Amino acid sequence: MADAMPAAPGPLPVGPVGRRGLGQWGVGALIASEAALFAYLLFAYFYAAASARPGWLLEPAPKLWPALPNTLLLLSSSLVAWIGEKGVERGRRAEALTGLIGAFVMGAGFAAVQVYEWSIKPYRLGTSSYAALYFTTTGFHMAHVVAGLVILAMLALWVALDFFSPRRRIVVSAGVLYWHFVDAVWLLVFATYYLTPYLGFAR
Amino acid sequence: MTPAALRVPAIDDDTPELRARLHAIWATTPGWKGWFTTVDHKEIGIRYIVTAFVLLALGGVEALAIRLQLAGPDLRLMTPEQFNIFFSMHGMTMIFLYSSPVLSGFSNYLWPLLLGARDMAFPRLNAFSYWVYLAAALFLYTGFLTGNGPNDGWFNYVPYAERQYNPGLNQDFYALGMVLLGISTAVGAANFVVTAFKMRAPGMSIDRLPILIWGTLTASVANLVVVPAVSLAFFLLWLDRQFGTSFFRPAGGGQPLLWQHLFWLFGHPWVYAIVLPAMGMVSDGLPVFCRRPLVGYSLVALSTVATMILGFGVWVHHMFATGLPGLSLSFFSGASIVITVPSAVAVFAWLATIWTGRPVRSTAFLFFAAMILLFVIGGVSGFMTASVPVDWQLTDTYFVVAHLHYVLIGINVFPVVGATYFWFPKLTGRMMDERLGRWNFWTMFLGFNLGFLPMHLIGLFGMPRRVWTYPAEMGWSALNMITTIGSFAFAIGVLLFFVNVAKSWRAGALAPADPWGGSTLEWALPSPPAPYNFAVIPTIASRHPLWEEALDENTPRSTITRGMMLDTGKETVTTTPLDAIPDRIVEMPCDSWAPLLLAVALGILFVALLLKLWLAIALGALLVLGALILWLWPQRRLLEREPAHG
Ligand code: HEM
């Protein structure tokens, strides 16, 4: 029989340090579940489209203006949020605030343009299953954008209150990660609704 | 004072002084305040179990009402509409509000004890998940009590569920209630997944996990990604009904079959999610009564995971009769037949364990052993319906009702009752009555078979499921009478179980720490365990930390009485996902109002959505937001922010 020895680790980090900690796992799980939700929404689109009669697409050639520039705006807001996170990591508060607030403003801009786009669509939620899918999918995404904006605003507030340090900043990393997720999902939604018709899908 | 960023955890023996210190740190606030704010996984686990058993009783009463109506031909005890509500409520209650939550309850209670942890990874999320489950159950039962229970069966096919055919609030209660319940299930699943990967005691590498952990982990990974499918389906249904969309309505270009796909994409993995943890209970409990380790541990663990992976590929077998293309039917039929292989592996492992062991016939053993038999019967009838031509004959008959009860009662209710006999001493500090236990077992076992075996025949004779009554000329009357008698016998058996629980909880014999000579960590703790579970963090060196001497394996021994103390705060340690090497000291949250507040806010929001009260919806949404911010506000105590700052 070998000797019973309790595990005796050397120095261990105490609490979340940098971007690492239990919270990171939690946000990871949240994102996995929400990614699945969007996967089902897109599945619903492809399923309905594949089994629909011709003429189902209400926009056989979706207008890329203002959707495409708006997509670029949202994607670049991810970059700006990342700069904000780096600012916290380096202990530069001004940089951090600029990044977080910048991302917030860009995200809010995206939301405003999206609402405008909804308002100029020639169809409404109840028009057909295509319309229902379009508004619901983009609506779900909008709900996530709003959640992300609240998160960015809270992060900016907390940074302004000087809560964090290069060491204790997991909340910022987790929030910014969520924002990246919101942006990445949009890319898929955009590709599905605006680009696949050009590839001839469901036309 | 800034806590150090790095610390070498102090190591010492388990002493009464240490226990006193930890107790002061970990105990829930006494009184009503603690009752509402506790985050202790043991308290939450017991609540889950008790609530789920209450719902089992409610669902059982509904079933008995159904059986009374069907006891003889042409009875008129209920109207057809009432009958619809009763069988739908029964199915919904049993599947969603009993089978899964009861397993979450056991896993919540047992996981940290089995893993050598002081709590789950996210204790507040755990409390939240319970409160939302309770809110959803209340929500759904409010519908029932106001005459608005679900009335299209538990899988709720469109177009019946659309507003045109179903103008009442029934479906709106069901749809929103399920979205609410989905939140509870998803966050609970996330908690299990992270706990399994991060909260294990040092040395408990992935090949040393109890099978219950494998079962619940697999189920949770699945739940995390499939629950959104059903939440979405129900949400879209609600939009169809209330906002005139046409997701499922052909008139607007919608697809009724989309409902079935989304529902069964979720539904079939879910069926495994409500049996795999229960199979895990048997895999862990049975060997204790056979006085030997489980035969084929690795195979059983692998087959658990394999079942779920295949489980993702069989959803269409619920739709064989919907006119899908032949190739697709063949594929899913094949997958459905293949899936019996991993299940068979588990069955043979249990049989071999009994065969080569020295069985102690306790009540728990009887329940576990009976489960194997019922599993085989349910499995064979499932295998039969996996074949497309047979399914075309049998679908929507009582044969299917028989099958699903053998599976659900056999692989969920029997193991859960067995698990209660097995772990009751740990949960309550008292033993259950073994003599009453025998009565309990035999009444349940004989009553169940008397009630449900004849259903196979009734099905083969052509009686459809979900019919409100039948004429005497069909020749089904005698068998239906037997079924009803058997159902009542089974119900009496379940009642005996509840009586035993109530009686033993109050006045059962006091339980020692390890009444059964168990092999896993929970039996090293006092019954019931202290709030902090482990006074020192144990170090695990084998699959059976408590049987190392008996098995005389020539391996290093686990240490349970000496280890990291972690007593300078509400602390514990996290470990790496595969090898369980300590990687971080973490602060755990204390009692908190946030979970309850958030659950109440969600409850308000959902009631407002149901009634479409826009002002209340806005208020509910604001409350949800406020509760979330309160919850996530960075805390110094949790080291989420820098004490020196702000
Ligand atoms: C006293 C015990 C029980 C009795 C007598 C009973 C009886 C029945 C009967 C007669 C039906 C068929 C109703 C019909 O098609 O007209 C039914 C349906 C069903 N039962 Fe049970 N049951 C019992 C316990 C359970 C349990 C413990 C579960 C699950 C864990 C369960 C799950 C279901 C489900 C999912 C359905 C299908 C409902 C539907 O058609 O939508 N039952 N039950």
Using pLDDT thresholds of 50, 70 and 90, give the confidence band for residue A5.
confident
Higher pLDDT, A197 or B394: A197
Beta bridge partners of B430: B510
Q: Is the CB of B60 under 6 A from ligand 1?
A: yes
In this predicted structure, the answer to whether residue B323 has a pLDDT above a threshold of 70 is no
Give the CATH number for residue A146: 1.20.120.80
Residues of B in contact with A16 (CB under 8 A): 586, 639-640
Q: What average pLDDT does range A90-110 have in this prediction?
A: 97
Decide if B562 touches A, using CB distance below 8 A: yes
- Taking residue A146's Cβ as centre, other Cβ atoms within 10 Å add up to 15
Q: Is the CB of B271 under 6 A from ligand 1?
A: no
Smallest Cβ–Cβ distance between B646 and the set A22, A29, A161 belongs to A161
pLDDT tens-digit series, residues B456-484: 999 999 999 999 999 999 999 999 999 99
Q: Is the CB of B405 under 6 A from ligand 1?
A: yes
Rg (CA), chain B: 25
Q: Is the CB of B412 under 6 A from ligand 1?
A: yes
Residues of A in contact with B243 (CB under 8 A): 125-126
Cβ <8 Å between B563 and A154: no
Inside any domain, residue A27: yes
Instruction: Say how many Å lie between the first and final Cα of chain B, rounded.
Output: 14
- The residue among B255, B253, B209 whose CA lies nearest residue B114 is B209
Inside any domain, residue A1: no
In the prediction, which pLDDT does A54 show?
A: 85
For residue B333, give the H/E element and its range.
helix B326-338
The residue of chain B nearest to residue A14, with distances taken between CA atoms, is B585
Q: Which of A130-139, B382-391, B394-403, B441-450 has the lowest mean pLDDT?
A: B382-391
In the prediction, which pLDDT does B307 show?
A: 87
Beta bridge partners of B575: B582
Q: What average pLDDT does range B158-169 have in this prediction?
A: 92
- CA angle (A52 as vertex; A46, A53 as ends), nearest 5: 150
pLDDT tens-digit series, residues B71-107: 999 999 999 999 999 999 999 999 999 999 999 999 9
Using pLDDT thresholds of 50, 70 and 90, give the confidence band for residue B3.
low
Q: What average pLDDT does range B303-318 have in this prediction?
A: 79
Decide if A72 touches B, using CB distance below 8 A: no
Q: pTM for the full model?
A: 0.96
Q: Is the CB of B88 under 6 A from ligand 1?
A: yes
Inside any domain, residue A100: yes
In the prediction, which pLDDT does B553 show?
A: 67
- Cα torsion at A53, A55, A57, A59 (round to 10°)? 170
Ligand 1 mean position to B399 CA, how many Å? 12
Up-side HSE of residue B590: CA atoms within 13 Å toward CB? 15
Q: What average pLDDT does range B276-291 have in this prediction?
A: 96
Inside any domain, residue A79: yes
Cβ <8 Å between A6 and B562: yes
- Ligand 1 pocket mutation, candidates B68, B157, B401, criterion most atoms within 8 A of CB: B401
Inside any domain, residue A44: yes
Spatial separation of the C-alpha atoms in residues B150 and B168, rounded to whole Å: 10
Whole-complex ipTM: 0.96
pLDDT tens-digit series, residues B219-276: 999 999 999 999 999 999 999 999 999 999 998 889 999 999 999 899 888 988 999 9
Instruction: Say how many Å lie between the first and final Cα of chain A, rounded.
Output: 73
| Residue pointed to by tokens 């009540």 | B363
In the prediction, which pLDDT does B600 show?
A: 98
Using pLDDT thresholds of 50, 70 and 90, give the confidence band for residue A53.
confident
For residue A101, give the H/E element and its range.
helix A93-120
Q: What average pLDDT does range A173-202 have in this prediction?
A: 95
Residues of B in contact with A164 (CB under 8 A): 634, 641-642, 645
Identify the sign of the CA torsion B260, B383, B210, B111: positive
In the prediction, which pLDDT does A82 show?
A: 98
Using pLDDT thresholds of 50, 70 and 90, give the confidence band for residue A55.
confident
In this predicted structure, the answer to whether residue B644 has a pLDDT above a threshold of 70 is no
Contact present, B259 and B197 (Cβ < 8 Å): no
Decide if A82 touches B, using CB distance below 8 A: no
Mean pLDDT of chain B: 93
In this predicted structure, the answer to whether residue B324 has a pLDDT above a threshold of 50 is yes
Inside any domain, residue A126: yes
Spatial separation of the C-alpha atoms in residues B165 and B152, rounded to whole Å: 11
pLDDT tens-digit series, residues B522-575: 999 999 999 999 999 999 999 999 998 888 767 788 999 999 999 999 999 999
> Which range marks the domain in which residue A144 is found?
22-53+64-199
Inside any domain, residue A10: no
pLDDT tens-digit series, residues B11-44: 999 999 999 999 999 999 999 999 999 999 999 9
Q: Is the CB of B413 under 6 A from ligand 1?
A: yes
Spatial separation of the C-alpha atoms in residues B119 and B113, rounded to whole Å: 8
Question: Which residues, 6 or more positions from B463, have their beta carbon under 8 angstroms from its beta carbon?
Answer: B397, B398, B470, B474, B476, B480
Inside any domain, residue A174: yes
- The residue among B52, B302, B634 whose CA lies nearest residue A151 is B634
Using pLDDT thresholds of 50, 70 and 90, give the confidence band for residue B2.
low
pLDDT tens-digit series, residues B217-235: 999 999 999 999 999 999 9
In the prediction, which pLDDT does B554 show?
A: 72
Q: How far is B13 from chain A (nearest CA, A)?
A: 10
Chain B 194-213, CB below 8 Å of chain A: which residues? Answer: 194, 197-198, 202-203
| Residue pointed to by tokens 């399994």 | B196
Question: Based on the structure, what is the number of domains in chain A?
Answer: 1
pLDDT tens-digit series, residues A39-50: 999 999 999 998
pLDDT tens-digit series, residues B103-145: 999 999 999 999 999 999 999 999 999 999 999 999 999 999 9
pLDDT tens-digit series, residues A141-180: 999 999 999 999 999 999 999 999 999 999 999 999 999 9
